Every structure is written in structure tokens, then in C-alpha cells.
Amino acid sequence: MTSTSAPRSYGGWRATRSAGLGSLDGRQTFTVLGTIFALIMIGFLAGTKIAVYLLPVAVLIMVMAVARRDGVLIFDSGRAWLRWRWAEWRTHTLYLGQVFTPVDRPWHLPGVLAATRLLDVHDPGRGRCGVVWNQRTGQMSATVLLSPAGLLLADGEVANRHVASWGALLSALADDASIRHLAATVELVPEPGTRLGDHVAARQDPAGPALARQVLGELVATAPRASAQVRTRLTLTCDPSIGASTPRQVPDAVAELLRSLNGLAVGAAGAEIVQRASASDLIRLVRSAYDPASEPATEGWNVLGWQDAGPVHAREHYDYYRHDGGYSISWVLQEAPRQQVSHDVLLRLLSPGRFRRRVSVLYRTLPRDVAGTVLENEVNAAAVRGEVARRAQRTATARERADAARAARAAAEEAAGAGLVQVSLYVTATVNNRAELPEARREVEQAAGHSRLRLRPAYGGQAAAFTVGLACGVYPGDG
């Protein structure tokens, strides 16, 4: 008997905010008040005339600390642009593979992947598994390939159960201090419409019943002419040094990672583990991302090394990334949905389009003690903002009241045993030539709008954002 109960709605996401004046955060408030105080002191010590001369500079500093462009502070945007221009001047935005630079060197991959090393390990009873070891941070990452169950035809009760199980899985991560973060990635690779016909024709028995062959032919003829491969994977990143009295050796660190990986209960959340990604799987995944033309290759991946997974040539531009046979543009989550949403809110963003797309949701679960402190600070900051508004005889806006209510609700839920998860989302679209980039950008941003998400291009960080979904344990901003 099928239940007719409606799916629940979800929400309550909020950006971390520190105490400040009005809508300003702590850093903005400190900059504005510090600039005013500095101007007053200069006028007191050096004279009013000097202070008047410096007034335009002070106003410019305060404007840059308060004004935003595309949701980002002008100060931060300008700093990112200057850092990128400095890197470009030093040729740090250009990468040439071993074909052009055949010298022996310790780093084989570009950018943030330079310090990574691929380990091919054997887990008794479970086969081989590829582990990406970041030799700079000491973190290790392993990936499982998933086959998720669709919920388009499922009733609300099943959807609620899967979402609750996923929430329980994320909450359980807080009990393992060595786990740094978890990345869920969905990759959509468009394919020509002939693939289905070829697949059916290769498996059709000419001596089979005529009616069966007729039905299959009609299904192929009426199927959409464009299709896509949908690949789902889960990447777990651990820091084996956490909780160890003495530094762990590499075999012990790998064993700790695999223990945590085996404890992921993804089956209850509606996904089945197909297999753990082997070393050759990870090489193919990274190589085909940099060079989409290598995607159809089915053999030879097991003889390649980690140094062969990267691009032959790559150049980072401020708003896109050029690599081997493709051009990519990446986005980062700017604002989560403000309103309550259903479980299928990301359906449009995760639906196939004209271009290759990769969507990665990153979760960082904070330890229990850290989560309590963070939420307590958030509640106190909201209270300070409300008190400042009251003393200024200003009525708090509806958004400020809603933000304070969400902070208080999150603190109450954490006190009752829930975990605190920091969420970020990255999207990458890849095209064959630069002229298709505007169309790919329009397609992704429209899909994100239908999913109630606000995305912004990763200006000045396209190369780093590109690597987030490559199952290598990259978490932007992670030490």
C-alpha cells in the first residue's frame, strides 16, 4: 500500500555572521570605526588640514569595506583580482606538462593538486582502493562510486526517510574526530542519441520473438535523441594525525581512512555502493576531466601513473579555465535557499543539459565541542545586533529577525544532539571551445535559479574550483 503523505520541507541554512553594526559584520564594523578613529586622531595630532586631505581616502576605504558587487565585498573582490594578477605575472597561472618540461620534479599535477600522491592499496576482503594523499596537509581521501535510487516516482514517506538517513550520516561524522570533510559529486556527461540504439542492437537476438524486437525498436525510436551518463560518487577526507599520540605511518593512516570509509551508511540514504574507486578509476576520472576527448577510452588506464592524470597544458584565466581540449567555468555557492524547499530542490541543477557538468556539495561536520561554541557565538552576535538596533531606535528588519530565529533554533537543535554541518557547493561546466562558454554559463545559472540557489563565478580561483569535484579531497580554504 502506497502512502500519500506529502514530503517534508527543509530549510534553515544561514551564513556565519559575527557581531556588528546593523547589517555589517565584525570585520566591516572594525574597518569603518577604525578608519573614523584614525582620521580623528590624525586631525588631532597633525591638524585639521591634513585630516581634510585624507578624508577622500578614508571614505574610499569605508566604501570598499561596505559595498558589494555580485554579493562579494569590493575589498575582497579587488584583493582577489590583485592576487590573481600577481600570480599571472609570475606565470603561476600557466602549467605545462611533462611533454614540454621533461625534467624530473616532485610535483606532477597543476595547482592545488601538486602536493598530492596516489596510493594503490589493498584492503583484505574488499579488494584494491585508490587513496589520494596530500603530502602538504597530511590528509588522505578515498572515494566510493554510488548508484543512487531515484525518488521521482517514490512517495513522500520514502523521500523523508532517505533525507533523515542522510542527516543522520552527516551527524555521525562529528563523532569521528579524524574526518575532515565529505564531498558528494554528481557528474553529467552528455552523449549522442545513438548510444541507446547501439546498446540495444548489440544485445538483441535476431531469433527472438518478432513482437519483442518490434517493441524494442519502437522504444529506441521514441526515446530522446540526447542522453547523458550520470555518475555519482562520495569522497571522504580524513586527517589521520588527529587523535594520535604519535605520528602515524602511512600504512596505519591508510587503515584509519578505510575504517572510516567502511562506516559510511549510505544505503539507508537511498544509494548503493557500486565499488570503491581504484587507483586507475581515479586516474581516469581526473584525466577525462582535464581532457574530455579521452573519455571514450576503455583500456590502458591501469598502466598510467598519477603523473599522467593531469593536463598537458592548462592556463587559468580570471573567469574561466583552459585545459587541454576543453574550456571550463566554475561557480561557488553564494546563498542557499532562503525559503523552505522540498527534497528535490536540486533536480534542475542535476538534470542533464547540453554541456558536461559537475556538481559537488561539500560537508564539513564540526566536532561537538566546537559546534556548541560556534552556535553560542552566533546567538550572541544576533543578540548584539538586535540590541544595537534597539538602542538606535531602529526597527529590526524581517530578514534580521528571521536570521536570529534560525541561529537560536540551530543552537537548540545542537543542544539536543544534532550535529553542525558547514555546507558549500561548487559547479563546473566544460565545453569544447571558448565560444560556447556564454551558453554554458546561461544554462547553469538558469538551472541554479530554479533550484533556489545563488551562484557566482569563482573569479580568480577557477583552477582551484575546477579541482573540487575530482575526488582528490580538495576543500577551498582548508589549510
Task: List the alpha helices (DSSP H) in 263-418.
Answer: 279-290, 368-391, 398-415
Helix, strand, coil shares of the chain, percent, nearest 5, are 40, 20, 35
**DSSP character at residue 366:** P
For the chain, domains (ranges, CATH) are: 84-192+228-366+419-466 (3.40.462)
**DSSP character at residue 460:** T
Of 131-135, 372-376, 463-467, the range with the lowest mean pLDDT is 372-376
319 vs 174, which has greater pLDDT?
A: 319
Asked whether the beta carbons of 310 and 290 are under 8 A apart, the reply is yes
Nearest to residue 287, comparing CAs of 104, 148, 119, 118?
118
Nearest to residue 60, comparing CAs of 75, 46, 49?
75
pLDDT tens, residue by residue, 144-195: 999 887 666 667 788 888 888 888 888 888 888 888 899 999 999 887 666 6
Cell numbers found for residue 173:
561524522
> Model pTM?
0.85
Go through 206-215 and write b for each residue having 16 or more CB atoms within 10 A of its CB, e for each that does not: eeeeeeeeee
Task: Please state, as a whole number, how many other Cβ atoms lie within 10 Å of the Cβ of residue 397.
Answer: 12
pLDDT tens, residue by residue, 224-273: 555 678 889 999 999 888 766 666 788 888 888 888 888 888 887 778 88
Compute the C-alpha angle 112/292/101, nearest 5°.
50
Asked whether the beta carbons of 82 and 90 are under 8 A apart, the reply is no
